[in-house]
A and B are shown apart, each in its own frame.
Chain A
Amino acid sequence: MIYARGLVKRFGDFTAVDGIDLEVAPGEAFGFLGPNGAGKSSTMRMIGCVSTPTAGELRILGMDPVREGPAIRARLGVCPQTDNLDPDLTVFENLTTYARYFGIPRAEGRRRAAELLEFVQLTEKSGSTVDPLSGGMKRRLSIARAMINEPDLVLLDEPTTGLDPQARHLLWERLFRLKQRGVTLVLTTHYMDEAEQLCDRLVVMDAGKIVADGSPRHLIETYSTREVVELRFGDDAPATYVEKLAGIGERLDPLPDRLLLYSADGDAAVNEVHRRGFTPSSVLVRRSTLEDVFLILTGRTLVD
């Protein structure tokens, strides 16, 4: 579906995407995980054929995005990072009007619009304009709009950023259904739980480069330990404990507010901390996540 080698995007002398390689297979749910400014949107826009690569090779659905942009876009569904729904049209018209851009006949456009509004649970809002909708509703409408041409490949740029937990879960559930139908999904996110929920495979991006690549499980197993212990020590700076706790677990990462201790066996590590005579004010043993992978790979947290 997507093939990229040495893909580069520069804005003036600033390099936003710095030579990435990608391959996405049909039916896959593929994710770009990375902090703000990592180059996720720039990559998505090149894949969506609305931005020309500065260098490198890119093929989408076996075609060249520069020469065959319209033919590729006819088979893509795009949900951009910021909604660009049409405020002058109703919810229903947003879909039917968009259908016309793809050359879908009126009656067929109306049929699909009704079906998609049902799918994203917006049927009651059909006659409303876009402005009064909540953020989650707008996002769902954007996704419905992206599906109007029954695309082979759906691009979702930060589908749930800024939504409350309930709205996010509803969206995830809808996206999961799309995935079950065999639609190829490519999404970006800076939420590790989103990546874990939705992606079969993902790349971790930082400063325009891919720093790791694999399934969420694979990434965690490769770069992190099975469990992570989060320790907080009253008023003392976590960094001062790095030396004192050296040798426990496989790795220690001091954050401003807590110390992360990576270990295959979290409880055993906690016992060792106590045995050395330290009493943290709070102890949390949890399974390792992609957030930890990101921290280990880049030395920084995903969301600050």
Chain B
Amino acid sequence: MVTTYAVTRVARGNRLSPARVGAVINRNVGALRSGPAYWLVLASGFFEPVLYLLSIGVGVGALVGDLTLQNGEVLPYANFVAPAMLAVSAMSGALAETTFNFFFKFKYVKTYDAMLATPLRPMEIAAGELTWAMIRGSLYTGAFLIVMVALGLTTPGWALLAFPATWLVGLAFGAVGMAVSTYIRGWQDFDLISTGQFALFLFSGTFSPVQDYPVPVEILIAITPLYHAVELIRGITTGMLSWSMLGNVAYLLVMLAVGLYVASRRLTSVLCR
């Protein structure tokens, strides 16, 4: 609730105009139309998690067999891994936009300098870019959910509910990624980001239940963000809802609010000197 308050307050303080946020999104739609290379990038972003799902979920799953969860439920391994891959693709879809592309526009092509000379406010720029990142991520997650339903890894009903959850995941990671990008010095820092991203990918209860780890590690994992995204989405696609998922949602909302706030502040402090 604190975050909802923070989000609306930040939004109101800057009098966020939907038309101006839309104008920022509109710019990206135009860029998508005029640059053919972009489609290729988009397509590759979809295949990556699908390949992981097929190789690990289905391939390794054949070796592992079924998992017995803490609550006693038995789950085929692929059903366990698939929602994690979905969360990962929501994360990386949004991050690709708000780290690499954002940094390029921020530092080199000066897209935001051009925008800031107009009535657009930093918060509107950040919100527009983030919404676009979320839309990009949702292209991946929408397609991925169709694959999951087709493979019988979730039901159409749960998939419909999981879809907006992937939006939240995209917004949360996108916002934090954007904030981090404003501090990036050069391309070498992207190696750090992708290493971090990969570490999250491996150790967020993605491939095995976190309860399998020693308790200190389990706690450590519970602090990291992707864990909360995976928990939330896995709870939905497997139909095993629990109250703790509200905590996951709150965690992601805080990421969203803090990321958006820091990113828009940094747009001003770096570009409007």
In angstroms, how far is the closest chain A Cβ from the Cβ of B131? 15
Interface hit among A48-56, A208-216, A221-229, A236-244: A48-56
Q: Which of B102-128 contact A (CB under 8 A)?
A: 109-111, 113-121
- Complex: how many Å from CA A86 to CA B33? 13
Question: Contact partner of A97 among B30, B116, B121, B272, CB < 8 A?
Answer: B30
In the complex, per-residue mask of B23-58: 1 if CB is within 8 Å of any chain A CB, else 0: 110110011001100000000000000000000000
A284 within 8 A of B: no
Q: Which chain B positions have C-beta within 8 A of A11? A: 273
In angstroms, how far is the closest chain B Cβ from the Cβ of A57? 19
A100 B113 Cβ-Cβ under 8 A: no
Question: Contact partner of A52 among B30, B34, B115, B272, CB < 8 A?
Answer: B272
- Complex: how many Å from CA A257 to CA B114? 42
A50 B119 Cβ-Cβ under 8 A: no
Q: Which chain A positions have C-beta within 8 A of B116? A: 50
**Contact status of A70 and B119, CB under 8 A, knowing A52-B272, A89-B34, A97-B27:** yes
Name the residue on A nearest B114 (C-beta): A84
B119 A102 Cβ-Cβ under 8 A: yes
What number of residue pairs across chains A and B have CB atoms under 8 A from each other? 76
- Complex: how many Å from CA A235 to CA B109? 49
Q: Which of A140-172 contact B (CB under 8 A)?
A: 149
- Complex: how many Å from CA A48 to CA B116? 10
**Contact status of A73 and B114, CB under 8 A, knowing A86-B27, A89-B34:** no
Name the residue on A nearest B19 (C-beta): A103
B20 within 8 A of A: yes
- Complex: how many Å from CA A100 to CA B115? 11
B contact residues, total (Cβ < 8 Å): 27
**Contact status of A84 and B113, CB under 8 A, knowing A11-B273, A50-B271, A100-B26:** yes
**Contact status of A74 and B113, CB under 8 A, knowing A51-B273, A89-B31, A97-B26:** no
- Complex: how many Å from CA A258 to CA B118? 47
A88 B110 Cβ-Cβ under 8 A: no
- Complex: how many Å from CA A52 to CA B272? 7
Name the residue on B nearest A11 (C-beta): B273
Q: How large is the interface on A (under 10, 10 to 19, 20 to 34, 35 or more residues)?
A: 20 to 34
A82 B110 Cβ-Cβ under 8 A: yes
- Complex: how many Å from CA A74 to CA B272? 17
Q: Which chain B positions have C-beta within 8 A of A78? A: 117
Q: Which chain B positions have C-beta within 8 A of A100? A: 22-23, 26-27
A84 B272 Cβ-Cβ under 8 A: no
A28 within 8 A of B: no
For A11, A78, A88, which residue has the most chain B Cβ atoms within 10 angstroms? A88
Q: A86-B111, A149-B118 are in contact. List 20 more A-B contacts (CB 8 A).
A: A50-B116, A50-B117, A50-B272, A51-B272, A51-B273, A73-B118, A80-B114, A88-B31, A96-B30, A97-B23, A97-B26, A97-B30, A98-B118, A100-B23, A101-B120, A103-B19, A103-B20, A103-B23, A103-B119, A129-B34
Closest 9 CB pairs of A and B: A88-B31, A84-B110, A100-B23, A101-B118, A70-B119, A84-B114, A78-B117, A74-B119, A93-B30
Could you write out 25 A-B pairs with CB less than 8 Å apart?
A50-B113, A50-B272, A51-B272, A51-B273, A52-B272, A70-B120, A73-B117, A78-B117, A80-B113, A84-B110, A84-B114, A88-B34, A88-B35, A89-B31, A89-B34, A90-B34, A93-B30, A93-B34, A96-B30, A97-B26, A101-B23, A101-B115, A102-B118, A102-B119, A149-B118
Residues of A whose CB lies within 8 Å of any CB of B are 11, 48, 50-52, 70-71, 73-74, 76, 78, 80, 82, 84-90, 93, 96-98, 100-103, 129, 149
